[in-house]
Amino acid sequence: MSRMLAQYPVVVEVPVAWGEMDAYGHVNNIVYFRYFETARIAYFEKLEYPDFVDRNPLGPILASTSCRFRAPLAFPDRVSIGARVARVDADRFVMFYAVFSHRLQRVAAEGEGMVVCFNYRENRKALLPAALIRKITELEGTAASPDPGLCADPLPRQ
């Protein structure tokens, strides 16, 4: 498993619950998006950038998401969900996810999500704060920064 999720700086582990299965005896497709959400929020918490998580005034908003199902999950099992940022643009970033089944010993699903920086006070998208881009770069261990002229400085609290 560690080899499979080595490229993901944030990994969370959760049990597969009996109630997540559908009439066909496997985990319902919508549950994978909850797994992605769990990993995404853990990633945000790992950034240690509370203003972004608390939407004060900028915060994340999921613009799009997708999933590629690789193997069916079923109870009982545990999954490890990896999250990483694959690309950072001036006002958004793209996250990749992987759901690893402990029982199957393989990746059961892969996903992608586009997260847009949103100004909740003004009800419109906004540029990513430069400090947030630095935090992502530190967590990823890469140069994920866009052109410095394109990112915003953090907005003061009002």
Return the SS3 of 22.
coil
pTM: 0.88
The answer to whether 9 and 46 are in contact (CB under 8 A) is yes
Mean pLDDT of 75-95: 98
pLDDT band at 52 (very low <50, low <70, confident <90, very high): confident
Angle at 45 between CA 48 and CA 122, to 5 degrees: 80
Return the SS3 of 12.
strand
- Residue 21: DSSP 8-state: B
CA separation for the pair 40, 54 (Å, rounded): 14
The answer to whether 127 and 58 are in contact (CB under 8 A) is no
Name residue 6's amino acid.
Answer: A
pLDDT in tens, 104-143: 999 999 999 999 999 999 999 999 999 999 999 999 997 5
CATH C-level class of 10-140? alpha beta
